[in-house]
Homo-oligomer: A and B are copies of this chain.
Amino acid sequence: MTDVEQDLSAGVGFIDGEFYPTSDVRISISDLGFLMSDCTHDAAHVWKGSFFRLDDHIDRFERSLARLNMNLPYNRAETVDIVIECVRRSGLRDSLVYLIATRGIPSDRRRDLRTCTNRFIAVAYPFLWYVQPEQMETGAQVVISSTVRIPPESVDPRIKNFNRLDFSRALFEAYDRGSEHPLLTDFEGNITEGRGFNVFALFGGKLVSPEKGVLDGMTRRTVMELCAETNIKAELANIKPDDLRSAEEVFLTSTAGGVMPVTKVDDELIGNGSPGLLTLRLKDLYWALHDNPKYATPIAYD
């Protein structure tokens, strides 16, 4: 088995009232969640047996649902129970957990979205890091893509969504340039985000993360809160490619990996080419925060 086949058999998912090994969680191809990617999701994680900021993830998920005119077949408490049960059954102590809502199958032949019963899916995968393990030490290389991020006028990026063909195009462009991590710009040439992660850059002692056209990432939010608590200057603002390439430090944030150092943007080394001191400090603070009971929802494994 490949690593991923092992992962899929290790995880547990829920769909249509039943729990399955993740490898057996399948959705009807007639669900508009597939046929028009009319769905939203949230990605939370479990670390050392506890969810991190689960309530905040559910809050954001509910905001996405409202923005899509969707309703789940379960109330909030039931939804939380299902999500926790996926992790409990999997036995995974470190897990990346997806909550997914799809439009469902219309009962009308012309696919009237109002005739759909929305579907809820949850899946617990083994935890994954968006950058390679060695890149957590050496820093990842990102490239600034020529593909423009799907703009907010088309799809609201605050609705965490799977309309990601822009990233697919950008990924192949990045592979050709020796990177696995493209960052997309908007039509004004501002940096936005990558597939599943936000970006931060340090300029003159102040951290900046793109303000517009991006997901309000949970790890991004956590980093902003950590900065506020520790008197590190940080703000949401526009970043141009030239600025990013000449930043003092750069890092990515994602539930799939936390705070991840970047040491090269396009062909430019960042700082001295090693992960920055502030990056490493925030990474430590981020993981230390997992011990704070305020953010933890422990799983009652068997």
Contact = CB atoms under 8 A, between A and B. Distances in A.
A180 B112 contact: yes
B23 A26 contact: no
B4 A106 contact: yes
Interface stretch (A28-36, A198-206, A242-250, A287-295): A28-36
Nearest to A37: B37
A165 B163 contact: yes
B105 A168 contact: no
A134 interface: no
Contact of A168 (B13, B100, B113): B113
Interface stretch (A55-63, A125-133, A215-223, A270-278): A125-133
Nearest to A105: B4
Contacts of A112: 175, 180
Query: Of residues A4, A33, A130, which shows the largest number of chain B Cβ atoms within 10 Å of its Cβ?
Result: A4
A75 interface: no
A150 to B, nearest CB: 4
B109 A164 contact: no
A165 B109 contact: no
B37 A109 contact: no
A195 B32 CA distance: 12
B151 A148 contact: yes
A80 B195 CA distance: 34
A36 B114 contact: no
Nearest to A68: B168
A155 interface: yes
A254 to B, nearest CB: 11
A154 B162 contact: no
Contact of A108 (B4, B131, B147): B4
Contact of A37 (B164, B169, B195): B164
A38 B69 CA distance: 24
A161 interface: yes
A154 B147 contact: yes
Contact of A109 (B4, B33, B121, B153): B4
A169 B4 CA distance: 35
A262 interface: no
Interface of A: 2-5, 7-8, 13, 15, 22-23, 25-30, 33-38, 68-69, 100, 103, 105-114, 121, 123, 128-132, 147-151, 153-156, 159, 161-169, 171-172, 175, 180, 187, 195
22 contacts: A2-B107, A3-B109, A4-B105, A4-B107, A7-B109, A25-B29, A26-B28, A29-B123, A36-B167, A37-B37, A38-B164, A38-B165, A109-B129, A110-B132, A113-B168, A113-B172, A153-B187, A154-B154, A155-B166, A155-B169, A156-B169, A187-B187
Enumerate the 8 nearest inter-chain pairs by beta-carbon distance, A residue then B residue, closest first.
A26-B26, A36-B164, A37-B37, A148-B153, A163-B163, A2-B107, A154-B166, A155-B165
